[in-house]
Structure 1
């Protein structure tokens, strides 16, 4: 015998509270997205859900999730989901609920109370696999249950969306940008705002503004780790990162090659001028495992340790070599297909080395640079 319609409304709303908005990752009931719930005498439920924007790319998933959650309630014989759109006032209320009274241009990761660990992945020259290291570490950290975001700060040579398999586009909700995600990693890149494979031709001030928007206007939520894939060298973006997020720590990527080693040392030495901490060095393309079990060191050897030692000496701090990543064809294949090797082939030597680096970064506590220690002077 079907339950009275009035008695079903409470368990239905409880079921709806288990449905998260796919972009914001909070319950739709908490976000004010459930406008109405009606139940017919026959047990058919009609739910009206308000989308943040009319072109919400996740509306189909939201419809499926609402239907599945309500269908599991005893006594429900059918579910009808109607989609509406929030008004300007409702979107403003939503923004206030998410961001509070924080100024529109405030960068949450630069605030003293931020618990997000920010790693700026840098290299002296291009072609050392910096972006491959970034996306695989991000995917590995997310697979461990951490909340992870990636800023593709390589404005001219953006590649992170392809490497992570991100196909969605950001949506804007009242001056907030909702980043798309893949493999449970939130991503923002200038490539999401340019048509096709259009080149970005900008000078320094525009680069700084773009990076500031990526950090301040994007709604990242409560991240455990934010990775920033920097362009190679010591140009405008590297300086802007130090200004906008003083607590960001440098992760230097190099190869064993002498030429790469020398420029990697220059990239890491920027920490002396910006007063940033260097979390460590990753040596990529360290060797090629041969069928007979031997190793072919195509680019020489010892480059990563040499960079770590040089940076430790110049900064007067401990700079460890966090890992050596062997040459592996599956890393390249994963980057082309948008499936990081740490997820598709976790037992491969490259994936194991990358996972070890991710383990080290996950275990670290947040840097104290730029943070208030809550100390007061005493007599």
Structure 2
């Protein structure tokens, strides 16, 4: 699908208030084009929220008319004042356009890149893989490292919500710019599709999204790139193994025997593709009550057994806990543990182990 055709089709949707195309005003942004699939973000203010279905229908019809078979529209609600500022040009830079293939970026995953890649994998969902990703990345930032995060969990992306990220911006040269939160530079599928709509993509489309994240994002200078993989051994994990052969891996499991057993397959794939496994992280290892007694709610030794099967080491055992609810603090997060907490200290130690292994 040609970018010019998509732009022309989108330009036909006119904002009644300004009389200008939504695309030109910046009310349509974050446009991603992949063969016959288009994803975009549409900004509507509260008084227009009742017309969301109508806008979705109009956009879908216009894109269907030029041969786009798969349309993903993410709607973000803004205030009337924000809309007026966007339309006037006072709120944001010029409207984001579709990245141009003529403006090439140096591939961040090229063999001569100095960036150290680390994938966080698991055998099944629900073991806290994304929590480990963001907390390890945050701990690396605290250790003075420049860190990027790719949320490659295409079907179950959760990092944007965990970190309170809603938008992805673009530069004046129309390359995608990762969002910065808590010192991390983040890109996610969740920036380009609706949170509540399913992502129905097959292998080729998944590969194109990953290629976009690696080659069409204007990443800053980085020391580490942490990749949150989908659970299991599917297309995305295979693509990471093929595209980034220098990528190391951490396998996340819970102490439960089933989770540990399933995680063996993720580790086995890394071994078969000659990816280096740094070790195993056992999440939700236990709950410690007020008296200091540990309760092993999901069993014991699953992480240790997994590490033995993969002939690697158990890097950390992380207890069940939640970050302090300090919502008045400017750096409050519902997902990131502060360094002075028990889990924060564990992640700091994990970060030091990663640094030691990857920078040795």
Q: Place the TM-score, normalised by the shorter chain, in its bin.
A: 0.5 to 0.7
| Structure 1 residues 223-372: aligned runs within 5 Å | 223-312=222-311, 319-330=312-323, 338-343=333-338, 346-365=339-358
Superposition deviation, residue 290 in structure 1:
1.5
Superposition deviation, residue 83 in structure 1:
11
Q: Is the 8 A contact 1:95 1:173 kept in 2?
A: no
Counterpart residue number, 2:114: 115
Aligned counterparts of 2:250 and 2:275: Cα–Cα separation in 1: 11
Q: Is the 8 A contact 2:322 2:335 kept in 1?
A: no
Q: Is the 8 A contact 1:170 1:192 kept in 2?
A: no
Counterpart residue number, 1:212: 211
Calculate the TM-score normalised by the size of structure 1.
0.65
Across the aligned residues of Structure 1 and Structure 2, the Cα RMSD in angstroms comes to: 3.1
Superposition deviation, residue 150 in structure 1:
0.5
Calculate the TM-score normalised by the size of structure 2.
0.68
Seen in structure 2, the aligned counterparts of structure 1 residues 303 and 245 have a Cα distance that, compared at 3 Å, is same
Superposed structure 1 runs of 4+ greater than 6 Å apart = 82-86, 331-334
Seen in structure 2, the aligned counterparts of structure 1 residues 252 and 83 have a Cα distance that, compared at 3 Å, is closer
Superposition deviation, residue 366 in structure 1:
5.2
Q: How many equivalent residue pairs?
A: 269
**Deviations 1:263-299 (Å, cap 9, x if unpaired)?**
1111100023211110111000000002221100011
Unaligned stretches of 5+ residues in structure 2: 1-23, 30-89
Aligned counterparts of 1:143 and 1:339: Cα–Cα separation in 2: 18
Between Structure 1 and Structure 2, whose CA radius of gyration is higher? 1
Aligned counterparts of 1:257 and 1:196: Cα–Cα separation in 2: 30
Aligned counterparts of 2:118 and 2:238: Cα–Cα separation in 1: 14
| Structure 1 residues 193-204: aligned runs within 5 Å | 193-204=192-203
Superposition deviation, residue 161 in structure 1:
1.1
Aligned counterparts of 1:331 and 1:280: Cα–Cα separation in 2: 28
Unaligned stretches of 5+ residues in structure 1: 1-52, 58-81, 313-318, 368-379
Aligned counterparts of 1:55 and 1:146: Cα–Cα separation in 2: 34
**Deviations 1:54-111 (Å, cap 9, x if unpaired)?**
8599xxxxxxxxxxxxxxxxxxxxxxxx99979xxxx99x967xx4xx5xxxx322x2
